[in-house]
Structure 1
Amino acid sequence: MSEHCSKDKNFISKLMKKANIIEFDNSSKIVIISDSHRGDGGYADSLRQNRNIYKAALGFYYENGYTLIELGDGDELWKNKDCLDIAYMYKDIFAILNDFNYDNRLCLVFGNHDIVKSNPEYIKRQEQLFENAGGGFGREMISLYTDVTFYESVILRYMPLKEDILAFHGHQVDFINCDLWKESRFLVRYVWRFLEGVAGFKSPTSPANNYNKGTKIDHMLEKVARREKKILICGHTHNDIFPEPDEGLYFNDGCCVFPSAVTCIELTNGEISLVKWQVEVNKDILYINKTVTGGPEKLQKYFDFARQLL
């Protein structure tokens, strides 16, 4: 479980000590996607409306040789106690994730909504649940989750400059969703999920449903990035953020549950970009299109800016 929450002023150094390290250069292709919140297919499944967009994006990145980093909250395990229904509803998605894993192009980072996946005992319990259910479905998920390590953070080491980018979910600076994650999970699972379905209420514990709360967390993470003089890439707040090279060091990949859109961050050709996948219309034909909404900018510009900070 996460030990690096908002009360710990040294949480960045601790995240880096336990991080998975991925080296990359100007020929590498990396995509960072977070907050897909794969659910059970019901009214509270936030990804349901964007399922096809999300699947198209994953398919593109697999076919084009990208390494995929899922930066937390991949599965919605606050609203759902176990993975059975998620595995059934998104078996095609997990088949693609397995393809990435077979090619050694997958890194899974946990967030607050799927923090339980960091506990090996939880994965063992899920495996037993699948066996008790007959093992006829969900094998794509369970074969993946019993074969991977779930990390709290990942260091992206840019080899031409020997500089590091730190990527983590971002809930670590959010007191309610890190220090009090069990209490927040209880409220989401047993109170706000019901109210969301019956009366349309949104959970006040979620930065994604509270603009002021999400913006406050983004500001905190930007301050941390400047203090540490390090590029940080996070999710959690669902606010896609792409600073100019002389303005900041904190990036946010957004989420997969915007209305009719999925956003993510790409690292290609030694550059960083923020991209959006969405449904568009050409006359009477619907199609899924990718557009660049931030960048591309040379990573070296951000490393140079970091070195200039006092």
Structure 2
Amino acid sequence: MSSQKRLTRAYTEAARIPFDDTSKFILFSDCHRSDNSFADDFADNRNVYFHAMTQYYKEGFSYFELGDGDELWENVYFKTIFEAHKSVYLLLKKFHDSNRYFKIWGNHEMNFKDKKSVEKILFTYTNTQNDTVQPLFTGIQCHEALVLQHKETKQELFLTHGHQADYMNYVGWKINRFLVRILWRPLQIWGISDPTSPAKNYVERIKIELRIKKWIANNNRKLTIVGHTHRPCFSYPNAHSVPYFNDGSCVHPRSITGIEIVEGTITLIKWFIDTKEDGTLQVVKEILEGPTLLKDYI
């Protein structure tokens, strides 16, 4: 099956979620939450991510995680990841308990294609303080893709991870997982990059983006938001470009990027640690691109 057919199948089979101009969504992807070791790229940005998500929770946002939230290639057991970032998961539990957490699986989470694996891994956790089983994301559904559909305009926003356009990370993911787990993870600790990752392979990243843009062009220029390549991208409404968006990742050096959908607009944002004049540190948000009205893309 070609990348175009894989993307079409993901779009066709995706659950539809209605929204309107009062909706508030934050989209992050590629957190790669791991075990807090030297190979855990998320660990450096954990405080930034936690602060941003705390603000979004207080402000009533719904959270869409567009794949690779959990690093299940480098780690055999989810328990190891949970214990390393327990505070983050308990915050995400608040989103889930208020029906504001939507999880899409990426190539590092292909286990979540299987509903039984989702139930086994994500529904509960063991509280190590009293050895009792506690609810975590009980009843959560993990999706390959989701489609946001505006209640009035019927405009659709296609959300997926984007690895459908990457043969080895979709079809051959077990091979890549083996290489990452056995070979590249130990080498990463010594600073050697994983060439199987499109985020660290410029040529492969360009190919993936072109395949997704081709799909958009052949499918009524449908506004599409992905992750996977880790490269943030924002597209302004014009006749010379397709509405391709990428929310970037949460493992940039000292920053995380994402996409906000608020009051009928779309914005590319960055959260990072900045220094005040008195020398103290603060977590701040910066607008990178936008905001632009969604209806302008129709």
Q: Above 0.5 in TM-score? A: yes
Provide the C-alpha distance between the structure 1 equivalents of 2:148 and 2:122, rounded to a whole number of angstroms: 31
Alignment-derived partner of residue 210 in structure 1: 201
Comparing 272-281 with 209-218, greater Cα deviation is found at: 209-218
Instruction: For structure 2, list consecutive stretches of 5 or more residues without a partner in the other structure.
Output: none
**Which of the residues 42, 67, 71 maps onto 2:62?**
67
**After the TM superposition, which residues 33-48 of structure 1 pair with which residues of structure 2 at under 5 Å, given as runs?**
33-48=28-43
Q: Tell me, yes or no, if structure 1 residue 238 matches structure 2 residue 201.
A: no
What stretches of structure 1 move > 3 A for 4+ residues in a row? 123-131, 133-140
Comparing 214-223 with 286-295, greater Cα deviation is found at: 214-223
Q: Tell me, yes or no, if structure 1 residue 174 matches structure 2 residue 166.
A: yes
C-alpha distance after superposition, 1:266-291 (max 9, x if no partner): 11111100000011111201100001
**After the TM superposition, which residues 20-169 of structure 1 pair with which residues of structure 2 at under 5 Å, given as runs?**
20-126=15-121, 136=130, 143-169=135-161
Kept after mapping to 2: 8 A contact 1:78/1:189: yes
Provide the C-alpha distance between the structure 1 equivalents of 2:153 and 2:260, rounded to a whole number of angstroms: 18
Alignment-derived partner of residue 260 in structure 1: 254
Provide the C-alpha distance between the structure 1 equivalents of 2:265 and 2:122, rounded to a whole number of angstroms: 40
C-alpha distance after superposition, 1:202-253 (max 9, x if no partner): 1110011112221221122112111112111000000000012113211000
Kindly state the Cα deviation for residue 7 of structure 1 after the two structures are TM-superposed.
2.0
Kept after mapping to 2: 8 A contact 1:87/1:137: no
Kept after mapping to 1: 8 A contact 2:157/2:224: yes
Kept after mapping to 2: 8 A contact 1:123/1:145: no
Provide the C-alpha distance between the structure 1 equivalents of 2:175 and 2:197, rounded to a whole number of angstroms: 13
Alignment-derived partner of residue 271 in structure 2: 277
Distance 1:166 1:127, change over 3 A: closer
Query: What is the identity, as a one-letter code, of the residue corresponding to 2:149?
Result: R
Kindly state the Cα deviation for residue 123 of structure 1 after the two structures are TM-superposed.
3.7
Distance 1:216 1:139, change over 3 A: farther
Q: CA RMSD in A?
A: 2.1
Provide the C-alpha distance between the structure 2 equivalents of 1:226 and 1:14, rounded to a whole number of angstroms: 16
Alignment-derived partner of residue 14 in structure 1: 9
Distance 1:135 1:147, change over 3 A: farther
Kept after mapping to 1: 8 A contact 2:123/2:139: no
Provide the C-alpha distance between the structure 1 equivalents of 2:148 and 2:131, rounded to a whole number of angstroms: 35
Alignment-derived partner of residue 201 in structure 1: 192
Q: Tell me, yes or no, if structure 1 residue 185 matches structure 2 residue 201.
A: no
Query: What is the identity, as a one-letter code, of the residue corresponding to 2:15?
Result: N
Provide the C-alpha distance between the structure 2 equivalents of 1:139 and 1:166, rounded to a whole number of angstroms: 36
Kindly state the Cα deviation for residue 16 of structure 1 after the two structures are TM-superposed.
2.6
Provide the C-alpha distance between the structure 2 equivalents of 1:49 and 1:295, rounded to a whole number of angstroms: 27
Kindly state the Cα deviation for residue 17 of structure 1 after the two structures are TM-superposed.
3.2
Alignment-derived partner of residue 291 in structure 1: 286
Instruction: For structure 1, list consecutive stretches of 5 or more residues without a partner in the other structure.
Output: 1-5, 304-310
Kindly state the Cα deviation for residue 130 of structure 1 after the two structures are TM-superposed.
5.8
SS of structure 1 residue aligned to 2:55: helix
Provide the C-alpha distance between the structure 2 equivalents of 1:9 and 1:66, rounded to a whole number of angstroms: 32
Kept after mapping to 2: 8 A contact 1:50/1:261: yes
Work out the number of aligned pairs and report it: 294
Provide the C-alpha distance between the structure 2 equivalents of 1:37 and 1:49, rounded to a whole number of angstroms: 12
Distance 1:295 1:134, change over 3 A: closer
Query: What is the identity, as a one-letter code, of the residue corresponding to 2:20?
Result: D
Alignment-derived partner of residue 307 in structure 1: none
The TM-score with structure 2 as length reference comes to 0.93
**Which of the residues 211, 218, 230 maps onto 1:220?**
211
**Which of the residues 242, 245, 249 maps onto 1:251?**
245
Provide the C-alpha distance between the structure 2 equivalents of 1:163 and 1:128, rounded to a whole number of angstroms: 33
Comparing 74-83 with 89-98, greater Cα deviation is found at: 89-98
Distance 1:285 1:158, change over 3 A: same
Kindly state the Cα deviation for residue 95 of structure 1 after the two structures are TM-superposed.
1.0
